Amino acid sequence: METKKKSRIYALAMTAVMAAVIAAVAPFSIPAGEISFTLCTFVLYLAPYILGWKGAATATLVYILVGMVGMPVFSGFKAGLSVLAGPTGGYILGYIPMVILAGLAVKAFPKNRAIQLGGMILATAVLYTFGTALFCFQTGATVDKALWVCVIPFIPFDLGKMAVATALGPVLRDRLMKANIHPED
């Protein structure tokens, strides 16, 4: 019973720490027009390895809620509901399904990095879909224009982040499991 309680406390603490890491990394960005380059998705790709898919989704939701209530944790140190309802809000909201899908790929195929990478690619396609749909709705842009502004420039950078995450993530997960502190999904 005591071990289960410690495990639960660890999981809650690590979820809070991961939300804080996301919030610390996300505001720093390199503007690229209306959308910015950030390392936020890199942290989100690593989160399922560290927390499992449920914990990663919870940490992501906490990050979004913190930004929604006014803490400047979104790209460019922005905050508030207006950011989530604005042209880039779909990308932020798309983080949740992205983390869940990537996390499920990690959980289902814990030893197959190629499938994990494929899961991250699929998850990122869902993120792009959420973000591009809201961007088009908010700005009146055509899908073609939105893809050139919001997706295509980011693909190489995101693929690089995924590659590093699939190389580093399993190592982190294995070390946490050896220390008997990796949360169960």
Q: What is the DSSP string of 139-178?
A: H---HHHHIIIIIGGGHHHHHHHHHHHHHHHHHHHHHHHH
d(CA 129, CA 15): 26
pLDDT digits (tens, 9 = 90+) for 49-59: 999 999 999 99
Name the pTM for this structure: 0.92
Copy the structure tokens of residue 55: 């914990």
Band of residue 31 on the pLDDT scale cut at 50, 70, 90: confident
pLDDT digits (tens, 9 = 90+) for 74-114: 999 999 999 999 999 999 999 999 999 999 999 999 999 99
37-40, Cβ contacts within 8 angstroms, sequence gap of 24 or more = 37/154, 37/157, 38/75, 39/161, 40/75, 40/95
CATH architecture of 2-178: Orthogonal Bundle (1.10)
Residue ranges of the domains in the chain? 2-178
Per-residue confidence (pLDDT) for residue 8, from 0 to 100: 79
Per-residue confidence (pLDDT) for residue 138, from 0 to 100: 94
Per-residue confidence (pLDDT) for residue 178, from 0 to 100: 85
